[in-house]
Structure 1
Amino acid sequence: MTASTFRFEGPSIEQAPAGTALPASRAALRHGPLTTTVPRELVHRAAVAEVMLTDWKRLDDTHFAMAAQWPRSHSFFTPVGVHHDPLIAAETIRQIGALLAHAEFGVPFGHQFLMEELTLTVRPEQVRTGRAPAALDLDVTCTEVRTRGRRLSGLRYETTILREGRPAATGQISFTALAPAVYRRLRPEHVFSAGHRPIPLTAPVAPQSVGRLSPADVVLSPTGDPDRWQLRVDTRHPVLFDHQVDHVPGMVLLEAARQAATAVLHRPSLLPAGLTCAFTKYAELDLPCLIDALHLPRTAPGDPDTVLVTGHQDGHPVFSATVTAAPQD
Structure 2
Amino acid sequence: MLTTSERRSVPGLTTTVPREYVHRAALSEVFLTGWEHTGTDAFTVSAQWPRSHGFYAPEHDMHDPLLLCETIRQCGLLLSHTGYGLPLGHHIGWTRLQYALNPQAMRIATKPAEITLHVTCSDVRRHRSVPSSMVMHIEAVRDKSLLAVASIGFSNYSPAVYERLRVGRGDAARMSESAPMPPDPVSRGTAGRRRHRDIVLSPTQERWRWQLRVDTAHPVLFDHPLDHVPGMLLLESVRQAGHALEPSWGAMMPTSMDVSFNHYVEFDTPCWIEAETTSSDVGGTRRSVRVNGLQGGTFAFTATTEMTDMTSV
TM-score by length of 1: 0.89
8 Å CA contact 1:209–1:268 kept in 2: the answer is no
The residue correspondences of 1:158-307 to structure 2 (distance < 5 A) are: 158-192=137-171, 196=175, 197-266=178-247, 267=249, 269-298=251-280, 304-307=286-289
Amino acid at match of 2:190: S
Determine whether 1:316 maps to 2:298.
yes
1:210–1:268 Cα contact (<8 Å) kept: no
1:45 aligned to 2:24? yes
For structure 1, the residue ranges without an aligned partner over 5 or more in a row are 1-5, 9-25
Give identity over the alignment, percent: 41
Aligned mate of 1:64, from 36, 43, 55: 43
**Deviation of the 1:191 alpha carbon:** 4.9
Query: For residue 28 of structure 1, what is the aligned residue in structure 2?
Result: 6
Return the alpha-carbon distance in structure 2 between the equivalents of residues 203 and 90 of structure 1: 26
CA contact (8 A) 2:60 2:310 kept: no
Q: Please give the secondary structure, in 1, of the residue aligned with 2:87.
A: coil
1:101 to 63, 72, 80: 80
C-alpha contact (below 8 Å) 2:208/2:274 kept by paired residues? yes
Distance in 1 (CA, whole Å) between partners of 2:189 and 2:180 is 25
Equivalent residue letter for 1:153: S
Matched residues, number: 306
Moved more, 260-269 or 233-242: 260-269
Kindly report structure 1 stretches of 4+ aligned residues shifted beyond 4 Å.
300-303
For residue 307 of structure 1, report the CA deviation from its aligned partner: 0.7
Number of the residue aligned with 1:16:
none
CA contact (8 A) 1:308 1:321 kept: yes
Give distance in 2, aligned partners of 1:263 and 1:74: 23
Quickly say closer, same or farther: Cα 1:322–1:60, change in 2 above 3 A: same
CA distance, structure 2, for counterparts of residue 149 and residue 190 of structure 1: 26
Paired with 1:7 and 1:207, the residues of 2 have a C-alpha distance of 45
CA RMSD in angstroms comes to 1.9
One-letter code aligned to 1:224: Q
Unaligned runs of 5+ in 2: none
Conservation of the 8 A alpha-carbon contact between 2:163 and 2:170: no
| Inter-CA distance 51–190: structure 2 relative to 1 (3 Å threshold) | closer
What is the distance in 2 between the residues matched to 1:154 and 1:238? 29
For residue 192 of structure 1, report the CA deviation from its aligned partner. 3.1
Report the AA paired with residue 203 of structure 2: P
Distance in 2 (CA, whole Å) between partners of 1:288 and 1:199 is 10
Contact 1:293–1:308 (Cα < 8 Å) also in 2: yes
Give the TM-score taking structure 2 as reference length: 0.93
Describe the superposition over 1:63-104 as per-residue Cα deviations: whole angstroms up to 9, x where unpaired.
111111111000100012111001100110111110011111
Residues 82-141 of structure 1 show CA distances to partners (whole Å, capped at 9, x for unaligned) of: 110011001101111100111111111111111000001110011101111101111111
